[in-house]
Amino acid sequence: MADIPSVSRRGFLGAAGATMAGVMAGRGRLATTPSSGAMLGESHRKKKIPIGVFDPVYEKLSLDEMLDRVSALGLEAMEIGTGGYPGTNHCPVAELLADPAKAKAWKKKFEDRNIRVATFSCHGNPIHPDPKHAAKDVESFRNTVLLAERMEVPVIVGFSGCPGGSPSDTMPNWVTYRWPPEYREMIDWQWKERVVPYWKGAAKFAREHGIKRLAFEMHPNFVVYNPKTLLQLREAVGEEIGANCDLSHLFWQGCDPVEVIHLLGKNGALFHAHMKDTVFFPENKDRFGVLNFAFTTEELPQASETFRAVGYGHSASQWKAILQAYMDVDYDGILSIENEDPILSGEVGVERAAYVLKNVRAELMGTT
C-alpha cells in the first residue's frame, strides 16, 4: 500500500485543492455554506459523523482479516453486503438467521474492535421483468430485513429497481425522457403497475419488522436516479423511503452536492451516504457529453468521466463543504467509503479517501 506523506491537517486542506482535485478543480462552483454554528448552533457544528467503509472492496479477505484492516485505518463503522450485487462475502445471511448464537458471535467481532455495523446493503432489482431474477432479489431484501431486525441495524441500502417498459418485456427498460409520447406511457406504466405497488408492500414488510429506513442509491439504469425521482417514490410509498446519497452519481448529472444534501435533509429523506468522487475529463466531456463513463483504465483515454476516491475528483475544500452540509442538516448516519476508483483500486483508494475525510472532519470540528 502506498505511503502517504506526513502533512499537517491545516497544510493538507490548504494545498489539497491544487494537489488532489484532479482535472475538475476550479471548473465548477465551489459549494459554500454559512457557518453551521450560526445556522443550527455550536452543538451541531461539533457533531462527529462516523466514517466507515462498504465491505465489497475487501472481497478477497476473510471477515477477521477485513476487520483488522478497517480497525487499523481508524474507521468507526461498516456497511455490509447481504445480497444482490454486493454479495454476501462477509455475512452468511442464512446461517445468521438460522442460529441466534452465530449471529451474536458475528456481531461481537465488530464490537470487539469498536466498529459499528451501521447498514446492510442488498442492491438488486426486485422489479426486474425476468421473474426468476426478481424473485431472487425480493428474497434477498426480505432476508436482509429479518437480519437487520435481529441485529438491530437501522438502515437497509439498495436500488429502486427497474422494470420492463411493458408487460411483455424480458429486460429492464430505463426511460428518462418523456417524448415521443410512447415513452411517457412507458414511464407512467412502470410507476403505476410495477414500482409503487412493489415498494408499498416491501415498505410495509420492513415496517412490520421494525425497519424504518430503506435507503435508495440514486443510480442510472434504475427508476430512482436523482433527488426528484427519490422524493417522488417517497411521496407515493411512505416515509420509509429515503436516500443513500452517493454523490458520485449526481456530480455527472450536474447536481450541486450541498443543495442535494440540504434538500434531502429538509425532507427527512437522508438515510445513508456513500463517499465516492467523480472526475471529469473536460476535453472529452466537451466533445461527447456526460453519458460516456469509464469503468476501467483502458477506457480512460476516451472517457468523459470516471469514479475516483474522495478528493481525487473534487478538491478537499469541496468535500469540506459537503461534510459541513451533512452536519448542518443533523445527519445521523455514517460516511461510508465505497471505492470503485479504476486508478487507486482496492484498499489503496479506501486509505486515501479515509485520509481526506478524517482531515476535513477534524478541521470542521476544530480538532486540528
| Set of cell numbers at residue 194 | 410495477
* Residue-level pLDDT at 23: 34
Mean pLDDT of 171-193: 97
Q: What is the pLDDT of residue 21?
A: 40
Measured in whole angstroms, the distance separating CA 169 from the mean position of its chain's CA atoms is 29
Q: What is the pLDDT of residue 45?
A: 53
CB count within 10 Å of CB 65 equals: 12
Mean pLDDT score, 301-317 = 98
Residue 29, pLDDT > 80, answer no
Quick one: which of 130, 202, 224 has its CA closest to 169?
A: 130
Note the pLDDT of residue 47: 85
Q: How sure is the predictor about 353, in pLDDT bands with cuts at 50, 70 and 90?
A: very high
How many angstroms from the chain centroid is the CA of residue 229?
Answer: 16
Strand order from edge to edge, sheet including 305-308:
277-280, 305-308, 293-294
Average pLDDT over all residues of the chain:
90
Instruction: Inform me whether the pLDDT recorded for 10 exceeds 60.
Output: no
Helix, strand, or coil (residue 319): helix
Between 177 and 21, the more confident residue is 177
Rounded to two decimals, what is the model's pTM?
A: 0.88
User: What is the C-alpha separation between 101 and 108, in angstroms, rounded?
Assistant: 11
pLDDT above 80 for 261 = yes
Average pLDDT over residues 96-110: 97
Above 80 in pLDDT, residue 97?
yes
State yes or no: pLDDT of 30 exceeds 60: no
Calpha distance 175→162 (Å, rounded)? 9
Judge whether residue 38 has pLDDT over 60: no
